[in-house]
Amino acid sequence: MTVSSKPVSKPFDLKALFNRPAKPYAHPYLGGVILGVVLFLALFLTGNGLGSSGATSRLVVFAQDQFVPDHVDRTPYLLRMAGGDKNPLDDWLVPVFFGALLGGFTSGMIFGRVKLETTKGPRISDRTRWMIAFLGGILFLYGARMARGCTSGQALTGGAVLSAGSWVVMLCIFGGAYGLAYFVRKLWN
């Protein structure tokens, strides 16, 4: 009788991949220094800061340009990004957006933080939590376009160059969040 020396391979277990123990976070001061160095290098090497809400607008305009190009050609705001021969994806914000998504996911996978779960309080259903999150995301994106930048663009880049408008926007964002927190606290407690 002969014994096979082939190694036995286990089937890929997706649950095991997402249920690993999480490693500790980096020290906040170290994270802040690294973020500051990245922001400095972005400004120094490219002349642009950090932020990505403009990429979301460009992705939406790209979809609009595929399905309703006449509308894009008639709307001045959209025409600056697309219309005619312009490709709305041909902008530095688009690779930054996808790089942030990929980098965040990769970091989460490496440090065991990617999980298939819905984080919520005990008094809220999964469905309600997802609806509230979706509504909040829509409102925040709309506000980011009105403010001409998201929190990362306003706080990091605008704050770093001491833009008074960016400081006002950030104070309004934090003030609004604290004011709204009182009314939605029961969703978390």
Please indicate, yes or no, if residue 91 is contained in any of the structural domains: yes
Q: Are 43 and 157 in contact (CB under 8 A)?
A: yes
Among 24, 48, 32, 45, smallest CA distance to 97 is for 48
For helices 93-110 and 53-67, angle between their N-to-C axes, nearest 10 degrees? 120
Please indicate, yes or no, if residue 13 is contained in any of the structural domains: no
Report how many domains make up the chain: 2
pLDDT at 140: 84
pLDDT tens digits, one per residue of 128-171 = 989 989 998 888 888 888 877 787 788 888 888 898 988 988 89
pLDDT at 9: 65
Same domain, residue pair 73 and 127 = no
Structural domain of residue 180, as residue ranges? Answer: 119-189
Please indicate, yes or no, if residue 55 is contained in any of the structural domains: yes
Same domain, residue pair 181 and 126 = yes
Task: Provide the whole-model pTM.
Answer: 0.74
Q: Are 156 and 39 in contact (CB under 8 A)?
A: yes
Among 35, 51, 2, smallest CA distance to 166 is for 51
Same domain, residue pair 103 and 152 = no
φ/ψ of 113, rounded to 5, equals: -105, -5
Please indicate, yes or no, if residue 141 is contained in any of the structural domains: yes
Q: Are 72 and 61 in contact (CB under 8 A)?
A: yes
pLDDT at 134: 94
Which positions of the chain have pLDDT values less than 50?
none
